[in-house]
Structure 1
Amino acid sequence: MVDTSRKDRVGEFCGVAGPYWALRPVRGGTEWEADPEHVRPADRVERLRAETARCNARSEGRLL
């Protein structure tokens, strides 16, 4: 998912928190809440970039 209110930050959908959606960075880390109005599905390129970032973080021992 892409949060357009946060400079197109890509995250994985984790659930609903009241009126907001909980998203977690693909590389791991702290969840954030996003207004569903500002969230859209990631396109193929965005998903590929996020998965590459996850693999790079894992190889460097940074993945949570």
Structure 2
Amino acid sequence: MSALDKIKKMLKGHEDKASKGIDKAGGMVDKRTQGKHKGHVDTAQDKLKQQLGTDRGQDGPPRS
């Protein structure tokens, strides 16, 4: 079992909290870099949410 699979298993049922944590971490990076890398941070956040399955919108299914 890969590390990513283990993380996904741990996050099962807590996707909303994981998504908030990813957003908060991205906000901290943006603040520390004064927004210089905002595009890269946003892309990384989106990809991480997608990998972890936390990219669910308000209505349910993952965004594509």
Task: Please state which band the TM-score falls in when normalised by the shorter chain.
Answer: 0.3 to 0.5
More strand by share: 1
TM-score (norm 1): 0.33
Larger Rg: 2
TM-score (norm 2): 0.33
